[in-house]
Amino acid sequence: MKVRLRNPDRELEVSGDRRVHDVLVELGIDPDTVLVIRDRELLTREDRVGEQDLVEIRPVISGGSGRTT
């Protein structure tokens, strides 16, 4: 399956037919820090992804200035 990562944008191939959780573990991604999107739908960790799927993994973290200064 294809995975599209953002910030910076890049694409890679990983094996499918398993849970989203397993894909995130393989990529070393904390599930609480990303949206996982397939066909304009959000997926949870327990959803399964197929070998032919294209999945976007979109970070939710944003920076900018905090009020620490």
Partner 1 sequence: MSRMRCRRCKAPAVIEIRRHNAAFCRDCFVRHVHEQVRRAIAAFDMFAPDDRILVAVSGGKDSLALWDVLLDLGYDAGGLYVGLGIGEYSTRSGELVHAFAAERGAHLVRVDLAEEFGFDIPTAGRKGSRSTCSVCGLSKRYVFNRAALEHGYDVVATGHNLDDEAATLLGNTLRWQTDYIARQFPVLSSEDGLLKKVKPLYRLSELETAAYAFLRGLDYVVEECPLVAGNTQLRYKEAMNQLEAASPGTKAQFFLSFLERGAPLFERQDEVELHPCERCRQPTTGRFCAFCRARAQVLGERLEDRVVPPTDREVAENVSEEVLPAEIYSRAVEGSR
Nearest to 53 by CA among 30, 26, 28, 20: 20
List beta partners, residue 59. Answer: 34
Nearest to 5 by CA among 51, 28, 50: 28
Site for partner 1 (CB under 8 A): which residue of 5, 16, 47, 53? 47
Site string for partner 1, 8-37 (x = CB under 8 A): -----------x----------xxxx-x-x
Site for partner 1 (CB under 8 A): which residue of 44, 50, 51, 54? 44
Binding footprint of partner 1 on the chain (CB under 8 A): 6-7, 19, 30-33, 35, 37, 41-48, 58, 60-69
